[in-house]
Amino acid sequence: MEETTNPIVPIISLKNIDVYQKKLMILHDVTLTINKGEFVYLIGKTGTGKSSILKLLIADEKAHGEHAEIVGFDLKKIKSKQIPFLRRKLGIIFQDYQLLAEKTIFENLDNVLKALGCKSKDERYERVMKALDMVGLSTKHFKYPHQVSGGEQQAVCIARALLNDPELIIADEPTGNLDPITSEEIFQIFHHINKKGTTVLIATHDFMMIDKFPSRSLLIEDGKILDSGL
């Protein structure tokens, strides 16, 4: 009996794209492909363009060049009214937690589902608790952000990103404010999510974590992207 292999399906595809930071071009002719199910690091020194590439991918910056596609959306042709639908397919995580201090952890996530139009209180409860369980925080849903550690606040942000069962997680320096032990816990969560089938792209300069959790890396250096090919 022949083994069946999963087809290789690109989830991000850039071809000859110029990347801008405000109006300054910082990367020229970027070409890369990330396939569904991959775990990829985007690495490079501060100011090399990591965050700018991520902004392009979430349609915060306009795509200039031959071809740019993510989760089925053409970034060159995307209209402003389509951007919220693109972002519903993404889980976006930044270094700044952006949690509402006056709301509990549960309420922070519940508010997101309300904003997305989920009217069923029972469904919202199930989805919030499922997301919190994935990051090991279901028993702390009643606490406020200031009552948990920085690592746990970042884990809440990961749970928030998981609420919509995203096809792709995009994280920008998610452990930038965290100590090494807490950083390792966060990276373990990301890898656990990836093993369940979600594609993960992390911009980071945390080389200690990359050594602990090796995977394909895209290095930005001298205006070019070098692919480790792992």
Packing angle of the helix pair 121-134, 180-195 (nearest 10 deg):
120
Beta strands in 71-221 (DSSP E): 73-74, 90-93, 168-172, 199-203, 216-221
Domain 1-89+167-225 matching CATH 3.40.50.300: the answer reads yes
In the sheet with 64-70, reading across from the earlier edge strand, the strands are 24-35, 10-21, 64-70, 73-74
Band (pLDDT 50/70/90 cuts) for residue 1 is very low
CA-to-CA separations, 100 to 27, 146, 152, 226, in angstroms, rounded? 35, 10, 14, 39
pLDDT in tens, 123-159: 999 999 999 999 999 999 999 999 999 999 999 999 9
pLDDT in tens, 75-97: 999 999 999 999 999 999 987 78
| Pairing of β 10-21 and β 168-172 | unpaired
Helices (H), 10-70: 50-57
pLDDT in tens, 39-82: 999 998 888 889 899 999 999 989 999 999 999 999 999 999 99
pLDDT in tens, 5-47: 557 889 999 999 999 887 888 888 999 999 999 999 999 888 8
Q: For the CA atoms of the chain, what is the radius of gyration?
A: 18
Assess whether pLDDT exceeds 70 at residue 4.
Answer: no
Residue ranges per structural domain of the chain: 1-89+167-225, 94-165
